[in-house]
Amino acid sequence: MTQPIDFLLSRSSMKLVTAPAPNDDDLARILQAAMAAPDHGSLQPWRFKIIRGEAIGKFADFSIGLRQQSDTPFTPEKEAATRAWLSEVPMIIAVACHIDYGNTAISETERMLATGAAVTNILNAAYMLGYGAFWSTGIATYIDEFQSGLGFDSLDYRFLGFIAIGTPRMAIPQKKRPDYTQFISEWTEPVDV
Ligand SMILES: Cc1cc2nc3c(=O)[nH]c(=O)nc-3n(C[C@H](O)[C@H](O)[C@H](O)COP(=O)(O)O)c2cc1C
């Protein structure tokens, strides 16, 4: 029997997804998992926009159109590949962190970390429920008009990209992950500097 820890150990992103999108019950559980992220001061800084159905085509036109007008337009091949990818994606969750100007006690960095942790919970929950999910900061993520056009005005939000989510188009690969010991050392006393 698969244990919860086995899901965490085997999770991988899956960019290539198709319909069906998560049903309402599954979407509710995936988004509720985001609410269980660690969150200093319970500021709940995360904000999500659900984009699905015909809105996906509008998202594609809007994001690719802005990218093509930018200083770094896609090549025709990259544009075609991006359109082909998005034409299959049944649901997008756009992500932003709310800037709370009134709160100086808990830094923006900490609020961004809480939002990132919320996205990680979404990715894990989607995987546990059998969906594919992929976090992207591509296309027009760093173009101001894109953020504001999604409803995340840059005065009030840090836009953190979008999650494509749906049914995996192929088996989710079991990736070989690095051995954790490469990243760990023991601390016993202050380091001499
Ligand atoms: C904040 C963030 C933004 C990302 N943006 C992109 C992106 O724009 N394009 C991309 O190919 N991968 C992007 N990735 C990486 C993928 O989401 C994914 O993590 C990567 O392909 C590795 O797959 P894995 O999650 O199975 O290890 C991003 C990851 C993070 C955390």
- Report domain extents, the chain: 4-183
Residue 38 Cα to ligand 1 middle (Å)? 21
**CATH 3.40.109.10, domain 4-183, yes or no:** yes
Q: Quick one: how far is CA 154 from the chain centroid? A: 18
Does pTM surpass 0.85?
yes
Angle of helix 76-88 relative to helix 54-69, nearest 10 degrees, comes to 160
pLDDT at 193: 85
Return the residue matching tokens 């504001």: 148
pLDDT at 134: 98
Residues lining ligand 1, Cβ inside 6 A:
12-13, 134-138, 161, 175
pLDDT at 1: 74
Ligand 1 pocket test, pick from 9, 13, 172 with the greatest ligand atom count within 8 Å of Cβ, gives: 13
Residue 40 Cα to ligand 1 middle (Å)? 25
Average pLDDT for runs of 10 along the chain of length 193: 92 98 98 98 97 97 98 98 98 96 90 98 98 98 97 96 98 96 97 89
d(CA 106, CA 3): 35
Tokens of residue 154, six digits: 């840059």
pLDDT at 104: 84
